[in-house]
Structure 1
Amino acid sequence: MTRNHPSRPSRRTVLGGAALAALTVAAGTGPAEATAPGATWPSRFPLPDGWLPEGITIGRRPYAYMGSRADGAVYRTDLRTGEGRVVHEGAAGLAAIGLKLDHDGLLYVAGGGGGTARIIDSRTGGLLRTHQLTDTTGHFVNDVALVGDRAWFTDSYGPVLYGVPRGRRGGVRALPLTGDWEHTPDVINANGIVSTPDGRGLIVVRMTAGELYRVSLRTGRATRVRLVGADDVVHGDGLVRVGRTLYVVQNRLNLVSVWDLDARAGTATLRRTITDPRFDVPATAARFGDRLYLVNARFTSPQTPETTFTAVAVDR
Structure 2
Amino acid sequence: MRRVQRRTAVGFIALLALLLPTALPAAASPPFRDDVIVLDGAKSAEGIAAGKGKTFYAGELLTGDIFRGDIRDGKAKRFIDVPKGRMAVGMKADVRRDLLYVAGGGNGKAYIYNTETKATVANLTLSTKKDSFINDVVLTDDGAWFTNSKYGELYQVKVSRWGEVRKAVRTLTVKGEAGAALAPADFGLNGIAAARDDHVLIVAHTKNKALYRVNPWNGESSRIQGLNLEFVDGILVQGSTLWAVQNMANKISRVKLAGDLSAGTVRDVITSKHFDIPTTVAKFGDTLAAVNAQFNRPASPHEVVLVPADD
The TM-score bracket by the shorter chain reads 0.7 to 0.9
TM-score when scaled to structure 1?
Answer: 0.84
Alignment partners' CA distance in 2, 1:258 and 1:208 = 20
CA contact (8 A) 2:24 2:308 kept: no
Tell me the matched-pair count.
279
Matched, 1:301 2:300: no
SS of residue in 1 equivalent to 2:248? helix
User: Quick check: 75-84 or 248-257, which moved more?
Assistant: 75-84
Judging changes above 3 Å, is the alpha-carbon distance between structure 1 residues 136 and 75 closer, same or farther for their aligned structure 2 residues?
farther
Matched, 1:137 2:130: yes
Matched, 1:93 2:92: no
Judging changes above 3 Å, is the alpha-carbon distance between structure 1 residues 267 and 108 closer, same or farther for their aligned structure 2 residues?
same
Paired position in structure 1 for 2:182 = 184
Gaps of 5+ in 2: 1-8, 11-20
Matched, 1:242 2:238: yes
Judging changes above 3 Å, is the alpha-carbon distance between structure 1 residues 38 and 273 closer, same or farther for their aligned structure 2 residues?
closer
Judging changes above 3 Å, is the alpha-carbon distance between structure 1 residues 218 and 37 closer, same or farther for their aligned structure 2 residues?
closer
SS of residue in 2 equivalent to 1:213? strand
User: Quick check: 207-216 or 79-88, which moved more?
Assistant: 79-88
SS of residue in 1 equivalent to 2:117? coil
Judging changes above 3 Å, is the alpha-carbon distance between structure 1 residues 91 and 180 closer, same or farther for their aligned structure 2 residues?
same
What's the CA shift for 1:48? 2.6
Q: Give the number of the structure with larger relative contact order, counting CA–CA contacts within 8 Å between residues 6 or more apart.
A: 2
Q: In structure 1, what residue type is equivalent to 2:133?
A: F
Judging changes above 3 Å, is the alpha-carbon distance between structure 1 residues 211 and 160 closer, same or farther for their aligned structure 2 residues?
same
Paired position in structure 1 for 2:23 = 36
Alignment partners' CA distance in 1, 2:153 and 2:145 = 10
Alignment partners' CA distance in 2, 1:45 and 1:158 = 34
Paired position in structure 2 for 1:217 = 216
Paired position in structure 2 for 1:285 = 281
Q: In structure 1, what residue type is equivalent to 2:170?
A: R
- Give matches, 1:65-104, under 5 Å: 65-102=57-94, 103-104=96-97
Gaps of 5+ in 1: 1-31
Alignment partners' CA distance in 2, 1:271 and 1:200 = 25
Q: Percent identity?
A: 35
Paired position in structure 2 for 1:175 = 172
Provide the alpha-carbon RMSD of the alignment. 1.8
Instruction: Write out the 4+ residue segments of structure 1 that deviate beyond 4 Å after TM superposition.
Output: 32-35
Q: In structure 2, what residue type is equivalent to 1:253?
A: A
CA contact (8 A) 2:88 2:103 kept: yes
Alignment partners' CA distance in 2, 1:179 and 1:268 = 20
